Amino acid sequence: MISVGIIGGSGYTGKYLVRFCLNHPEIEEVSIYGHTTSGMTLHAIFPELVNQFKDQVILDSGDISLKHDVYFIALPHGEALNYVPGLVGKDKVVIDLGGDYRLNDENVYCEWYKINHSSPDLLLSKTYGLADYFSNSFYQNKLIANPGCYPTATLLGMLPLVENFHSNIISASTTAYSGTSGAGKSGKSELSLSEMGGNVRAYNVNAHRHQPEIEQTLKQFGFLSPYSFTTHLLPVSTGIYATTTVFLDLEISSNSIADVYKEKFSDSSFVRMRNVPPNLRWVTGTNFCDINISVNKNVVVITSSIDNLIKGASGQAMQNMNKMFNYNESTGLLTGALNVSVY
C-alpha cells in the first residue's frame, strides 16, 4: 500500500486525479495540496463527490509533507519547477502532469514556454510516460513527465507507422481539435459559451507548445521528415480529436498497416483499433484512445480521439503510477471512477 500527495488537486484534471486515487485499492492515503483552496474542504470544491468519498481539508501547498510515496503535480507550467527537484532529491516518485519536464532540451523549453528552466539536469533523467506505448521496464526514473493531451492522441496514432516506415515518409501533418477544458479552469471570455457555442476556430497556429513535444518523440523513432501541427477549439467541454495525414514514397496495403498496429497494441488495456474513424463521444469520460487507419495507395490517414482530462492527463498519470509500481495498468481506472462532469 502507498501514500499519495496531489499538488494542485482543485482543477478539472485534479478532480479526476483525486477520484482515481480514492478508488485505487493500493492507495491507503491521499492528501490534497492547494494554494488558493488551502483550508477549504474537498466537498466544498467538488460537491458532486459528497456521499462518494470521505471529506478532507485541502492542505497548504507551501508546506508539502514528505511522508508520501508518490506525488502527482497538476499545476500550470513553470510552477512544478518549485517542487520537483526537492521531491526527486528525497527519492520520491513524482508524476508531473504539466509541461515543465516533457522536453529534453532546456533551450527548446525556454523558447516555447518563455521561462528559464531551473533544473535542466532532470530533463534527461526523467521518463516520458506515454503509457500505452512503453512497457513497465521503460520506467527506470523516479520522475515521470506525463505527456500532453494533443501529443498523447497524436503520438499513439503515429508512432507505430513511424517506427516501422520512417525512412519512407515524405511528410506528415496533424490537424487536431480540443474541447475548451484544455485551457484550464480559470475564466476566459474567448472560451465562454457565448463565444464558442456553434463555433470552431484555429488557435496558436505554428505556435502550440505541444508541437516540439510531438516532434521530439517522433525524432526518437527515426522521423526526420517535414511535419506540421495545427490546433483548433471545438464547442464542447472535453475531448481531443486528431487527424494525421502521412505521405509515403511507396504504395502500401491496408493489411500491412493493420498488422503493425495490431501487433503494437495487442496487449494494450486502453488503445482500441476501430474499423471506422472514431466518434469523440466514444472516448469522453474514459481512459481509452480510439484509433482508425485509412490507406489509399501511398497516403495514410490516422484518426485518433481521447478525453483530454483523462487519457490526456489524470488517467494516463494513474496508468504511469501503476506501471511504475508494477500494478495492473488499469487498476483504479475501470471501476466506475470516470463519471465526473467537468462542470
The residues assigned a catalytic role are 149
Angle at 220 between CA 216 and CA 221, to 5 degrees: 125
Q: Pairing state of beta strands 240-248 and 169-178?
A: antiparallel
Give residues with Cβ within 8 angstroms of 11, minimum separation 6: 74, 184, 185
- Type of residue found at 312: G
Q: Residue 79 has which C-alpha cell?
A: 510552477
Query: Which of 134, 89, 82 is CA-nearest to residue 101?
Result: 82
Sheet with 169-178, edge to edge strand ranges:
201-203, 227-233, 169-178, 240-248, 299-306, 289-296, 271-273
Per this entry, what is the length of the chain?
Answer: 343
Q: Pairing state of beta strands 70-73 and 2-7?
A: parallel
For 60-99, give the secondary structure using H, E and C: ECCCCCCCCCEEEECCCCCCHHHCHHHHHHCCCEEEECCC
Asked if residue 324 lies in contact with residue 339, where contact means CB atoms within 8 angstroms, the answer is no
| Whole-number Å distance between alpha carbons of 8 and 37 | 9
Give residues with Cβ within 8 angstroms of 7, minimum separation 6: 33, 61, 64, 71, 72, 73, 74, 75, 83
